[in-house]
Structure 1
Amino acid sequence: MDWVERLNESINYIERNLAGEISYETISKIAGCSIYNFQRMFSYIADKPLSEYIRSRRLTMAAFDLLNSTERIIDISLKYGYESQDSFTRAFKNFHGALPSSVRNGTVQLKSCPKLSFQITIKGENHMNYQIEQWPAFRVMGVSHKVKTSTAFEVIPQIWENSWKDGTMKMFFEKFPDYRPSGVLGIAQGGQWGEEEEMEYIVAVTNHVDVPDCKHVPVLEGMKEFSYPAATWAIFEANGELPEATQRVYKQFYGEWLPNSGYELDDLPVIECYMQENHQEIWIAVIKK
């Protein structure tokens, strides 16, 4: 199953379970990546968060049920995952601009969120600077943060802000050798199958590469060391102002590069490399199909 097929099968799974429980663990298994990476990929391709898409699809289907059935509003509320009729009514009004009861009592204007379908597109609007490298095993050391997957997109920018304030970034830039992956690294790992509720986010530097004459930098007190195996990495330039520069690369990578590349994702974390003067790289582990 190729990347586009995996995405569409994930959407099909969501569609089959709108009136029931949607398991993020199952989504990650179908997609073949962590739920955090799937959520990030989805947001770049669909231009909306996964949670918003699921909520919009459920409220779309709920409106159809109100129009075409005699089910009680409370039963429709429970069917689409709302704990009470009040919470359903608030969500319905926010999305459709009308109360559920008014759908049956008169003619109202409703919104519809259609089911998504992914397909390969070759736009060629912007070129991507990248290289494919067979990189040896390496280790990083840094500060680890436990993050709830559901709040990662809000929490991670705060982690970076705090890293600047507490001097971690200054120390990394000034006192450590610039081994590759270079610069200060942002690594999201965990959130894998069976552990989709929590992940680990690491602000780190590379402290050893498994090549001759590379000196291992001892781990500082209060930090952890993490090891990554030799792998094939697609390394993309993401130069420019943040966060637009990295967002642009992710959007092109998931929407254009990966479906046409002959590669699929490896089961390793994505590594963001932040250097100075708005120079960034994104390392994504891949496997030849």
Structure 2
Amino acid sequence: MHAWEAIQKSVDYIENHLTEDIPIDKLAETASLSPFYFQRLFSRLVKKPVCEYIKLRKLAQAADDLKTKNTRIIDTAVNYGFSSHANFTRAFKEVYGITPDEYRTSDVHLNQFVKPELILNYVMVDENVPLVTDGIVLEVTRRQLATPRTFIGIEKEIPIKELIGGTETSISYAAKLWNEFHEIKPKIPHLIEHGNEFGALYIGNAKEGYCTYMAGAEVEYRTAAEGYSTFELPAAEYIVCGFEAESFEELTNSAVYKAQTFMERWMKKHKLAATDFAGEMYYPTDGCAYLEHWMRPVTTD
């Protein structure tokens, strides 16, 4: 068994026992490692100390319960091992910058520390070959866009670290922007029926540590609308990473992070780098949720 497989077993164990006390000795036993070596290897591969990771995953699941279950905050706190309402509130606010009560009564989305799928750091597939892992399916293709496409929406500067995703915890400003966009979308002229929604990420004139992010929808080519931002996706060759998940929530949280993790390695393996632009192409679906990351590749040789 590879070292990463041993740690993945412990990660899976944690996820299945979030409402229980999780001793490090038990995790080390699950991974067939000594407690000392287990903790060192876990921190190296997961990028967090064991106890901190457990706390972050407990808080992530507790946050989900706050929105999906009609239970008292104190009951949620106790269920995930917090000794009191005050202790839970303090930990929640330290991680997300918002209290559990504020979160439950608001429409904000949170960026979570995602349960890692460590195989994505080691496996490699060719173009046009699907990779199936932990509830998501992803596939990398090259796509030649013959004619430009136009998208109209609203844009804001957003911290780059938020859009990297998966390892940062905070209120999601990108999700907030999408909520605002969906409120004004019906007012946008010349929308293409059943057209794609599109998230455009580029540096532009954003201040250091930030990027410009536009949430928009496809309109007739070269349409402009006063009071809105316009983005034209130029005719060019793109590397496209398409991935699907069981739900839209899963797609825009852990699946995005896992796809990004895989694509970083895939691009390096193929001696490619991305420009300062990336796009998120959203597709309307009746079943599994589906999203594509679009990147303009440049060779690194």
State the TM-score, normalizing by the size of structure 2.
0.44
State the TM-score, normalizing by the size of structure 1.
0.45
* Greater C-alpha radius of gyration: 1
More strand by proportion, 1 or 2? 2
Higher RCO (CA-CA < 8 Å; seq separation 6+): 1
